Amino acid sequence: MKVAILGTGNMAEALIAGVLAKKILRPAQIIGFDVSRKRLNFIRKKYRIAASHSAIEAVEKADTILLSVKPRQMKELLDQIRPALSRRHLILSIAAGLDTRFFEKNLGRQYKIIRLMPNTPALVGLGATAYFANRNCGTSDRKRTQTIFSAVGIAFEVKKESLLDAVTGLSGSGPAFVYRFAEALQKGGIKAGLPRHLSQELAVQTVLGAATLLAESGEEPDALVKKVASKGGTTEAGLKFLQRKKFERIVQQCVVAATQRARQLRQ
């Protein structure tokens, strides 16, 4: 397998680091291209990957193509690489808002195309990626995609492309919602009398520890809530306040709002 990575931004770098660390690919199997020569040289030297001076040259040398440029740059990139494409290529896109119909319209309906929705925790190897494969993709194409993106977290396939809108609303936008929650915990600690630096450290560790316990215990969130909250205690007091302010409903509506916006952008 040889992978051409067109656009070597943060998410692409996370994938490069992940597949190399897990020995899924060797540096020689990755061909990078970026319109920023400075960025490309940085990635090439840091990870010792191959580099190409043109997108079409990178495509010609690869069997898998990762499109990781900004959505507004995508059509221009597709126009550049179209002459070098063949049915042997597997085309992976992580561009937000561009569905498989966009690529079929601009390239043709004969190509194997997989649209992916990763999230930013992939930068620390804890990402969540969902993907949708068009009708031309076979089992080996799905397996290849799964292998690459599992290098930076978990990866799973959805059978309906429209579900990627909900994935965007939950795991794509979700990290920002968690950061706001962590920030609110920090500010709450400060209001309660803690020094800023201590409140920040406690907030970060609390979110990290709670998420890790949730992942590793196998228990439902409600069961873990009950283990923390004793009757008449401090946690119960805080939970009652959240309930009065309709905290759960607000978070649910937050995910729905992000999902609706993802749907609008796609359409």
Q: Which domain holds residue 68?
A: 3-159
- Total residues belonging to the chain: 267
Query: What CATH number does the domain containing 196 carry?
Result: 1.10.3730.10
Q: Mind giving me the DSSP string for 182-214? A: HHHHHHHHHHTT--HHHHHHHHHHHHHHHHHHH
- One domain, residues 229 and 114: no
- One domain, residues 149 and 219: no
Residue at a domain's end among 132, 159, 186: 159
- One domain, residues 23 and 150: yes
Cα dihedral sign for 119, 125, 126, 130?
Answer: positive
Return the closest-CA partner of residue 4 out of 130, 72, 92: 92
The model's confidence at residue 266, banded by pLDDT at 50, 70 and 90, is confident
How many structural domains comprise the chain? 2
What strands, in cross-sheet order, belong to the sheet with 90-93? 50-51, 30-33, 3-6, 64-67, 90-93, 112-117, 127-133, 153-157
How confident is the model at residue 97, as a pLDDT? 86
Task: Name residue 5's amino acid.
Answer: I
The model's confidence at residue 96, banded by pLDDT at 50, 70 and 90, is confident
> Do β-strands 127-133 and 112-117 pair in parallel, antiparallel, or remain unpaired?
antiparallel
- One domain, residues 154 and 176: no
- One domain, residues 124 and 241: no
The per-residue pLDDT for range 135-175, each reduced to its tens digit, is: 999 999 999 999 999 999 999 999 999 999 999 999 999 99
- One domain, residues 12 and 49: yes
Asked whether the beta carbons of 80 and 55 are under 8 A apart, the reply is: yes
- One domain, residues 57 and 180: no
- One domain, residues 123 and 250: no
* pTM recorded for the entire structure: 0.90
